[in-house]
Amino acid sequence: MMQRTQGLVIRVSDWSETSRLATIWTRDFGKLRVLAKGGRRLKSNFEIALDLLNWCSIVVIRKSPGAMDLLIEAQVLEGFPELRRQLPALYAGYYLAELLGEGTMDDDPHPNLLDEAVGALRDFGGAGERLGLRVASFELALLSELGYRPRLTHCVDCGRSIKPGEGLYYHPVAGGMICPGCRERRRGGMFLNGVVWHRLQELLANPTAWRSGPTESRAVRVVTESAITHWLGRRPRLSPYLSSWR
């Protein structure tokens, strides 16, 4: 059955002399692995469209489960040129593609998350010194959309409200803050300063909060990266490339 949708190209590899294999994170079907026949030989629209991090309009023929879907049309809607002019921003884009590709299942669409991803790719190129905070904003949106939203205002274990005066203890495995009474049972957490704790709440509540206010990128990303690492089950491969500016 032939179907049209939009999607972000998150992985491309050669399949044979004449075809390419692409992973496209689509609005309607979630992560799709598609075969593009003639993608290399013909220098067709495929050649241009199937570039990593391109936002495309595509037509696929969906096969039965187990068989590979066929990509029969692809046109670039947006190529994020600003992103590709700066290495830190480009690495942030590759990182985003890794999280979408490795952290989600096939055929599990999340249109809100896709919109978040496209918005982040639009912002990365111009974010400058706020790039780390913009990445953190996307990480938090992803965790929220997939059911791993960090709990910051109440203790994960007992539900008691968190009071900054008692020390702010964040635990990535627990998925949020731990109150003093529950701390003894939860080793391996980290203490946050009040600015970082507030910043995390602002970023969770407001998708444009990264644009203003204190940056605190490095300290914020220590928290978001630990949450991402726990969610993914390992440290993302691109993480070392982000650490210079996080």
**What are the structure tokens assigned to 99, written together?**
């999280």
# residues contacting Zn ion (CB under 5 A): 6
How would you label 200-213 residue by residue, b for 16+ Cβ within 10 Å and e otherwise? bebbbeebebbeee
Nearer to Zn ion (CB atom), residue 122 or residue 183: 183
Query: 170: which 2 tokens?
Result: 């964040």
Contact pick of 35, 142, 155, 192 for Zn ion (by CB under 5 A) = 155
Tell which one of 42, 87, 158, 195 touches Zn ion (CB under 5 A). Answer: 158
Backbone angles phi, psi at 245, to 5 degrees: -125, 5
Instruction: Give the range of 33-41, 100-108, 165-173, 179-187 binding Zn ion by CB under 5 A.
Output: 179-187
Region binding Zn ion by CB under 5 A among candidate stretches 103-111, 133-141, 151-159, 238-246: 151-159
Q: Do 192 and 167 form a contact (C-beta atoms < 8 A)?
A: no
Site string for Zn ion, 159-178 (x = CB under 5 A): -x------------------
Which single residue is written with the structure tokens 């391996």?
A: 188
Determine which residue in the list 182, 223, 228, 242 makes contact with Zn ion, applying CB under 5 A.
182
Which residue carries 């998708």 as its tokens?
Answer: 207
The interface region with Zn ion, picked from 51-59, 84-92, 155-163, 230-238 by CB under 5 A, is 155-163
Task: Calculate the CA 42 to chain-centre distance.
Answer: 32
Q: How far is the CB of 197 from Zn ion (least distance, A)?
A: 16
Going from the C-alpha of 197 to that of each of 60, 148, 167, 216, the distances in angstroms are: 44, 17, 11, 10
Asked whether 35 and 21 are in contact (CB, 8 A), the reply is yes
Span near Zn ion by CB under 5 A; candidates 6-14, 86-94, 180-188, 192-200? 180-188
- Which one-letter amino acid corresponds to residue 235? R
Contact pick of 157, 202, 215, 231 for Zn ion (by CB under 5 A) = 157
Contact with Zn ion (CB under 5 A): which of 131, 179, 192, 220?
Answer: 179
**Cα–Cα distance measured from residue 147 to residue 149, given in angstroms and rounded to the nearest whole number:** 6
CB of 193 to Zn ion, least distance (A): 20
The site for Zn ion (CB under 5 A) is made up of 155, 157-158, 160, 179, 182
